Structure 1
């Protein structure tokens, strides 16, 4: 699945597939406008991808100090572009990981 297909799925389906990794679930709910649900999903996850989404969410919220903490924890650099560009970048990388894990 690519980013465009992921976006179409978000538009068609209200609930997020539970088979997606937590980080992608967070991006799903954030795109639907449910920042709180997205944050709830990633805040207690211990993986680097969820930390990256957590950083993005706090950047969107305007809490840059907290965002910077989560960027460091994720191993990703702070993003300086538009939030929409960051959403696309994170989602694209996460989808590539999912696709790679399903290849034989």
Structure 2
């Protein structure tokens, strides 16, 4: 499975509420999109410090960009992955 396909699966899992399964996938990759997903997952978890750490590795996304609307942010990640296909 490609990186993008695997990350799409992780986004779908996160959208379905399976943070842990999504996190296991996200932490396997180190590219900017995986780091963005990783940051959002820690935001969902309520771990602000760790979330901000991962946002710093995204190449431009910020913790505040979507506020607390993590579902909109997950949708944005899915859209980005779809556009990159």
TM-score, normalised with respect to structure 2: 0.82
2:15–2:71 CA contact under 8 A, matched in 1? no
Report the equivalent of 1:15. none
Q: How many equivalent residue pairs?
A: 81
Alignment of 1:2-13 (within 5 A): none
Partner residue, 1:26 = 10
SS in 1 for 2:57: helix
RMSD over aligned Cα, in angstroms? Answer: 1.6
68, 74, 78: which one pairs with 1:91? Answer: 78
The answer for unaligned runs of 5 or more in structure 2 is none
TM superposition score normalised by structure 1: 0.69
Per-residue deviation, residues 7-32 of structure 1 (Å, max 9, x unmatched): xxxxxxxxxxx456132221011122
Q: 2:25 aligns with which of 41, 50, 62?
A: 41
Deviations 1:43-86 (A, max 9, x none): 13111110000001000111011000101101122232511211
CA distance in 1, matches of 2:31, 2:2: 16
Kindly report structure 1 stretches of 4+ aligned residues shifted beyond 3 Å.
none
